[in-house]
Amino acid sequence: CTNCGATSTPLWRRSPEDELLCNACGLYQKLHNAPRPKTLRPNSARKEIREETAVRLVCSNCSTTTTPLWRRDGEGAPLCNACGLYLKLHHEKRPLSMKSDTIKKRQR
């Protein structure tokens, strides 16, 4: 990309001056009629930050570190999605015997 220096993108675009732009810079140019600022981080950098943050969190009930969604209990302690939903529904902590290492998808 002539604007941000990206080397991979799902779609290459062209600037009004016919320069090669990544998808993000091309869409920004089209929407704002100005080049995308270099201060905006690429999505991959934001994703890495989210993953680093998620790895540090530990469920205060079952001690898991992987969950699709983090929740909080009444005192603000982090809970995995399963423990948070169980607490919300039953008003008590989820038994450790119910802990599973797999994340199940819903059938829709």
The DSSP code sequence of 13-64 is EE-TTS-EE-HHHHHHHHHHSSPPPTTSPPHHHHHHHHHHHHHH---TTT--
pTM for the model stands at 0.47
Residue 89 lies in a domain: yes
Q: Assign residue 28 the CATH number of its domain.
A: 3.30.50.10
Instruction: Report DSSP state, residue 81.
Output: H
Per-residue pLDDT of 47-90, as tens digits, reads 555 555 544 789 999 999 888 899 999 888 999 999 999 999 99
**Are 25 and 35 spatial neighbours (Cβ–Cβ below 8 Å)?**
yes
Whether residue 93 is found in the same domain as residue 61: yes
Token pair listed for 48: 């890495």
> What pLDDT does residue 13 have?
92
Whether residue 64 is found in the same domain as residue 29: no
Average pLDDT over residues 10-19: 90
> What pLDDT does residue 44 have?
54
Total structural domains within the chain: 2
Residue 78 lies in a domain: yes
Whether residue 37 is found in the same domain as residue 61: no
- Give every CB contact of residue 63 below 8 A, 6+ residues apart in sequence: none
Residue 51 lies in a domain: no
Domain of residue 67 covers 57-98
DSSP β-bridge partners for residue 13: 21
Per-residue pLDDT of 15-49, as tens digits, reads 888 999 999 999 999 988 888 887 776 655 555 55
Work out the pLDDT band at 104, boundaries 50, 70, 90.
confident
